[in-house]
Amino acid sequence: MPVKAGFVSLIGKPNAGKSTIFNAFLESKLSIVSPKPQTTRKEVVGILTENDCQIVLLDTPGLIKPKYKLQEVMMEYVPTSLESSDVVLVVFDYLNYSKTGKLISKEYLTMIEQVGIPKIAILNKIDLVDSKIQLIPLLTAINNLNLFDEIVPLSAKDKTNLDTLKEVIIKYLPESHFYYDEESLSTLNTKFFAAEIIREKIFLNTEEEIPYSAEVQIQEFIERENGKWFISADIILEKQSQKQILIGKNGSMIKQISSEARIEIEKFLDYPVFLELFVKVRKDWRNNTTMLKSYGY
Ligand SMILES: Nc1nc2c(ncn2[C@@H]2O[C@H](COP(=O)(O)OP(=O)(O)OP(=O)(O)O)[C@@H](O)[C@H]2O)c(=O)[nH]1
Ligand SMILES: [Mg+2]
């Protein structure tokens, strides 16, 4: 039997649940998740290989109108992911639609319209309805776009209907050789995931502009005695006042972030880790092209 393989991008508004779907689908937490919008900043690659198919899933930053350079770069990942994709999954979430009554901006609708690949709409967060009837307005609105080959309602949180999603993706996947080793989970390295885990803990523990002004750079990632790994990372902020908040009273906030991050990094790597965090200030880094480049954007 011929094998199928291809690249599948996940796009949609911030907070729609793209990264939660990505992790649930891959049964592995590779992409960071938070209740705040704009958690994902770069393309995250995850690979699912089964006997006769390989799905290379691409998680992307939520669609926004950029207000500063970092957001401009974040939005460049979306068309780039689409260009390399064989199938696109556009995520709509029940909660956002029930609050705003809006599906997606015209600009991004046009972008999706123009890609000549199969398009699957995902209606996420269906766990929030008591009755399926409540989904009808959103289903109708998606259907009226006349854009999608399929619509899959699911709950990434409850992991319902993910098998249907997989079947639908495979249906539209081209016949192709595998792109990566069957054992590969991602093309990204452990440094990337460690930095992302630290960034997630910043998103979960801090408020207002701090998570958006924070960048994480791994400085050292080395094995020390007895198989214990030493990781040191810089957390870069934009202002001195943010540094004080992130450190917290007697260092309580940074200790909390560091402890949560270390536990999760250890779980991810499956070995003990010593994590050291340094908080630095680089004025207005989000608008500085040279700094953004040096941070891998
Ligand atoms: N109730 C419910 N909440 C969900 C579901 N999927 C995701 N969420 C929540 O929605 C929030 C946003 O989830 P993310 O996966 O980070 O969303 P995203 O689309 O990746 O967001 P960005 O990276 O900011 O673009 C988190 O609080 C999730 O727990 C779902 O199926 N049901
Ligand atoms: Mg995300």
CATH number, domain with residue 241: 3.30.300.20
- Give CA–CA dist 274/262, Å, rounded: 7
Q: Are strands 44-50 and 53-59 parallel, antiparallel or unpaired?
A: antiparallel
* β-strand partners of 231: 221, 275
- Give CA–CA dist 37/207, Å, rounded: 12
Angle between helix axes 106-114 and 69-83 (nearest 10 degrees) is 30
Domain end, chosen from 146, 172, 198, is at: 172
User: Which ligand approaches the C-alpha of residue 123 most closely?
Assistant: 1
Please give the residue range of the domain that contains residue 200. 190-294
* For the CA of 62, the nearest atom of ligand 1: 25
Residue 2 is predicted with a pLDDT of 83
Tell me, yes or no, whether 178 lies in a domain. Answer: no
Domain end, chosen from 137, 172, 207, is at: 172
- Give CA–CA dist 146/89, Å, rounded: 15
User: Is 38's C-beta closer than 6 angstroms to any atom of ligand 1?
Assistant: yes
Residue 226 is predicted with a pLDDT of 80
Torsion of CA 92, 95, 100, 102, to 10 degrees: 10
Residue 227 is predicted with a pLDDT of 80
Map residue 77 onto helix, strand or coil. helix
Map residue 254 onto helix, strand or coil. helix
Q: Give the list of residues 6+ apart from residue 77 with CB closer than 8 angstroms, or none.
A: 42, 43, 60, 61
Residue 228 is predicted with a pLDDT of 86
pLDDT per residue, tens digit, the chain (297 aa), is: 789 999 999 999 999 999 999 999 999 999 999 999 999 999 999 999 999 999 999 999 999 999 999 999 999 999 999 999 999 999 999 999 999 999 999 999 999 999 999 999 999 999 999 999 999 999 999 999 999 999 999 999 999 999 999 999 999 999 999 999 999 999 999 999 999 999 999 999 999 999 999 999 999 999 887 888 999 999 999 999 999 999 999 999 999 999 999 999 999 999 999 999 999 999 999 999 999 999 999
Question: Ligand 1 atom 9: the closest Cα is on which residue?
Answer: 17
205, two tokens: 């523990």
Looking at the structure, tell me whether residues 33 and 161 fall in a common domain. Answer: yes
User: Is 89's C-beta closer than 6 angstroms to any atom of ligand 1?
Assistant: no
Looking at the structure, tell me whether residues 257 and 163 fall in a common domain. Answer: no
User: Is 156's C-beta closer than 6 angstroms to any atom of ligand 1?
Assistant: yes
Looking at the structure, tell me whether residues 197 and 137 fall in a common domain. Answer: no
Number of domains the chain is built from: 2
Question: In angstroms, what is the span from residue 223 Cα to ligand 2's centroid?
Answer: 30
The pTM assigned to this predicted structure is 0.98
Strands, DSSP E only, in the chain?
4-12, 44-50, 53-59, 87-93, 119-124, 150-153, 215-223, 229-237, 273-281
Question: Which of 10, 15, 89, 104 maximizes ligand 1 atoms within 8 Å of its Cβ, making it the mutation to test the pocket?
Answer: 15
Residue 245 is predicted with a pLDDT of 97
Looking at the structure, tell me whether residues 137 and 230 fall in a common domain. Answer: no
Question: Which of 9, 10, 11, 33 maximizes ligand 1 atoms within 8 Å of its Cβ, making it the mutation to test the pocket?
Answer: 33
211, two tokens: 């998570």
Looking at the structure, tell me whether residues 132 and 231 fall in a common domain. Answer: no
User: Is 40's C-beta closer than 6 angstroms to any atom of ligand 1?
Assistant: yes
Residue 225 is predicted with a pLDDT of 77
